[in-house]
Amino acid sequence: MKAPVSKVTLDQLPVTAIKGVGASLSAKLAKIGLFSVQDVLLHLPLRYMDRTRITPIGALQPNVNAVIEAEVRACDIVFGKRRSLVCKVQDGTGTITLRFYHFNNAQKQRLVNGTRLRIFGETRRGASGLEMYHPEYDELDTAAPLPLAQSLPPVSPATEGLTQPRLRSLAAQALKLLDQYVLNELLPAAVRHQLNQVSLAEALRYLHQPPTNANIQQLMDGEHPFQQRLVFEELLAHHLSLLLLRRETQADGAQRLTINAALQAQFMARVGFELTRAQRRVVDEIAADLAKPIPMLRLVQGDVGSGKTVVAALAALAAVSSGVQAAIMAPTEILAEQHRLNFGKWLEPLGIRIGWLTGKLKAAERRNQLAAIASGEAQVIVGTHALFQEAVDFARLGLIVIDEQHRFGVHQRLTLSEKGTIGGDIAQSGICRPHQLIMTATPIPRTLAMSAYADLDYSVIDELPPGRTPVTTVVISDNRREEVVERVRLACAQGRQAYWVCTLIEESEALEAQAAEVTAAQLAESLPQLRIGLIHGRLKPADKEEVMAAFKAHELDLLVATTVIEVGVDVPNASLMIIENPERLGLAQLHQLRGRVGRGSAASHCVLLYGSPLSQNGRERLRVMRESSDGFYIAEQDLLLRGPGEVLGTRQTGEMQFRIADLQRDSHLLPAVKDAALLLMSDYPRECEYIVQRWLGQNHRYLQV
Ligand code: ADP
Ligand code: MG
């Protein structure tokens, strides 16, 4: 390999160094986060097309990329929902429709009948047979035939105003600069050799311009070794960013918190039960963290009903014992309200003042609460994410508890810890951060946890409190609905309570609420003897609270609900749950819902009332629910059946925006990624930062802190 002529590195070289890139193009590139030549090189193809072969139209399948050669038969502007140019082309074997939404008159005029085109795009099934939307095409001249492409053209993530040919030519120009400038190899040789990896430059050349003999299937699947080389580095960058963030956070120091033994004894007496062995172990792990002068960053995983709340309350008690405030954040109003009740019941008798803050407070009440938080009068503050808005000023925030973390993004976690530094006059010198305790009932398979929570220590409550009877789950088709209604009647006649859950329809809270209303009305008709309540996301918070309180107080027998009741809601006397159309939900969510029953001593049942016919995958998923109540097993199955985006929640994966990595496809790399990250953190501090910068660039959370 030639030595580069310049010492300038490609990450320092602006895109304008590429031939033909001026102000307007560089502005477009900036929009998609491409600032340097290195960025352009790392803007990797998402797919590849095989342009080395021409396919007869008659042999085309839907949803494939293909090159065809055909003659224009008709070309018209069509005024449908959107004005479009529709062009029919034909070869000896069939006809296909080309559709353009962006076009100009000149383009239309050239597409006259009889014009021969080489067209290339993705087929889809349209109203009139196969269609291609916005295909690329060239006019064919019989006198001078166009050669077929010599490589497999890559398709890169595009943006408005940047066509595929444009992106390809940019990449080609950028590749030329690889010879003249330096592209730093950031992976230590030891890591690369161990993984048998090629150089970054070699991988980039290949992936932007794969040779015709490349294994196209492997490339399309993202499993080519050169792709994996880059995937590895990208996963490493994400992992490192979390580790750096952790180091940064912990460098700031924290107040040591220790629990007052007498207060703890009083508290346990109020609570009225013994901790399980698992709860004790986790409480000890937390206590050990809190006693250190560095901020705790700990994730507690515990299946639904494993008793995380009391563990959080004990941590809050340590904060109060040590003279600082604890903030407890829940993802929904309902859950926050429930925590307020529990914390109030357990802590207020010990003389501890509970603060309360949600987005729905009236102005005067909000002012009072804010004042109590700012003065330190409120010692344990329960609320929703309203707790962490600008206007909230804590006197001495020493501990943050985030419940049901999967509902929040990683970013929110950070804003919170920042909060503690405001008004954190605990330390004489430097910044003091609050300890952070993060709780989740969504068990995350190990591999995913490793990458999503690399910045957190990890505790598991792997035991349920005694005296629970397992929930029996049955799967029933909705044409046996009447039997199920009868079952509800019987259970309630015996003094039990039941939930009837209506699941989400097409992501619309309004439609979901409507469906729940209809269901509640129907059930009221068939079960006139029951007291039926209704709860959904569209109700006012005060109304929601009222309904929940009535159900808890057994003033209602049956609660018709949408999935808003999913998290945390605790009514031990409820022993029957009907879930309508469970096939619409992910397993983790079903598991959460089902966790609402089986909290008391009565044998509990969950009826999965599916809409038939059920797909193969749907059948599989419901089988998992029937056979297992182990959250970890269910999460593993969910991962297999649905993929990591669904398991981690879109929030989380949305933030973990990968350019080429795919957590599910590439999870086998994670153990090696973790090892490499530890090695880099200890021996290659500069490379750590460069790798993170290379892959996360502007999105780099660590840089923002
Ligand atoms: P989750 O982990 O789902 O948040 P909760 O903290 O809501 O669970 O606890 C579920 C129920 O179990 C609550 O009613 C709680 O009071 C009760 N509980 C928690 N720990 C114990 C225990 N060690 N013994 C008996 N009951 C317990
Ligand atoms: Mg809970």
pTM of the model: 0.71
Calculate how far, in angstroms, residue 276's C-alpha sits from the geometric centre of ligand 1.
Answer: 10
Calculate how far, in angstroms, residue 151's C-alpha sits from the geometric centre of ligand 1.
Answer: 61
Domain shared by 370 and 314, yes or no: yes
Is residue 159 assigned to a domain?
A: no
Among 435, 461, 487, give the residue marking a domain's end: 461
Is residue 338 assigned to a domain?
A: yes
- Predicted local distance difference test score (pLDDT) of residue 142: 64
- Predicted local distance difference test score (pLDDT) of residue 429: 45
Domain shared by 321 and 411, yes or no: yes
Domain shared by 39 and 84, yes or no: no
What rounded mean pLDDT belongs to the chain? 84
Confidence band, pLDDT 50/70/90 cuts, at residue 488: very high
The ligand that comes nearest to the alpha carbon of residue 270 is 1
- Predicted local distance difference test score (pLDDT) of residue 161: 66
Report the range out of 48-62, 287-301, 381-395 with the highest average pLDDT.
287-301
Q: Cβ(579)–Cβ(606) under 8 Å? A: yes
Task: Please name the residue whose Cα sits nearest to atom 13 of ligand 1.
Answer: 307
Is residue 5 assigned to a domain?
A: yes
How far from chain centre, in Å, is Cα 664? Answer: 13
Task: Please name the residue whose Cα sits nearest to atom 4 of ligand 1.
Answer: 308
- What is the tens place of the pLDDT at every residue in 70-84? 999 999 998 877 888
**Cβ contacts of 474 within 8 Å, gap of 6 or more:** 605, 606, 607, 608, 626
Task: Please name the residue whose Cα sits nearest to atom 19 of ligand 1.
Answer: 307
C-alpha angle 297/298/301, rounded to 5°?
A: 155
Domain shared by 580 and 497, yes or no: yes
pLDDT beyond 80 at 507: no
- What is the tens place of the pLDDT at every residue in 251-310? 888 999 999 999 999 999 999 999 999 999 999 999 999 999 999 999 898 887 889 999
Which atom of ligand 1 is the closest one to the Cα of 342? 16
For range 98-115, the mean pLDDT:
88
How far from chain centre, in Å, is Cα 208? Answer: 29
Paired residues of 252 in beta bridges: none
Calculate how far, in angstroms, residue 105's C-alpha sits from the geometric centre of ligand 1.
Answer: 69
For range 32-42, the mean pLDDT:
88
Task: Please name the residue whose Cα sits nearest to atom 17 of ligand 1.
Answer: 307
Q: Cβ(500)–Cβ(486) under 8 Å? A: no
Is residue 220 assigned to a domain?
A: no
Domain shared by 446 and 475, yes or no: no
- Predicted local distance difference test score (pLDDT) of residue 668: 85
Among 604, 628, 652, give the residue marking a domain's end: 628
- 696-702 own/partner pairs: CB under 8 Å, 24+ apart: 696/237, 696/238, 696/241, 697/33, 697/35, 697/39, 698/33, 699/33, 699/657, 700/241, 701/241, 701/245, 701/410, 701/411, 701/414, 702/241, 702/244, 702/245, 702/248
Task: Give residue for tokens 């609900």.
Answer: 561
Is residue 481 assigned to a domain?
A: yes
Is residue 601 assigned to a domain?
A: yes
pLDDT beyond 80 at 649: no
Is residue 423 assigned to a domain?
A: yes
**Cβ contacts of 494 within 8 Å, gap of 6 or more:** none
Domain shared by 437 and 527, yes or no: no
Domain shared by 508 and 551, yes or no: yes
Domain shared by 389 and 275, yes or no: yes
- Ligand 1 binding site (Cβ under 6 Å of any ligand atom): 273-276, 279, 302, 304-310, 441, 465, 568, 570, 572, 599
CATH classification of the domain holding 557: 3.40.50.300
Q: How far is CA 189 from CA 16, 186, 194, 679, in A?
A: 32, 9, 8, 12
Is residue 228 assigned to a domain?
A: no
Among 433, 461, 489, give the residue marking a domain's end: 461
CATH classification of the domain holding 67: 2.40.50.140
Paired residues of 136 in beta bridges: 120
Domain shared by 419 and 326, yes or no: yes
Q: How many domains does the chain have?
A: 5
The residue range of the domain holding 399 is 261-461
Bigger pLDDT: 393 vs 441: 393
Domain shared by 135 and 179, yes or no: no
Domain shared by 624 and 681, yes or no: no
Which atom of ligand 1 is the closest one to the Cα of 311? 6
Helix, strand, or coil here: 278? helix
Calculate how far, in angstroms, residue 335's C-alpha sits from the geometric centre of ligand 2.
Answer: 8
Phi, psi of 10 (to 5 degrees): -65, -20
**Cβ contacts of 612 within 8 Å, gap of 6 or more:** 477, 478, 479
Sheet architecture: strand order including 435-440: 354-357, 380-383, 325-329, 397-402, 435-440, 297-302, 457-461
Q: How many CA atoms lie within 13 A of 236 on its CB side?
A: 26
- Predicted local distance difference test score (pLDDT) of residue 316: 98
How far from chain centre, in Å, is Cα 119? Answer: 38
Tokens at 97, concatenated: 């429709």
Domain shared by 83 and 189, yes or no: no
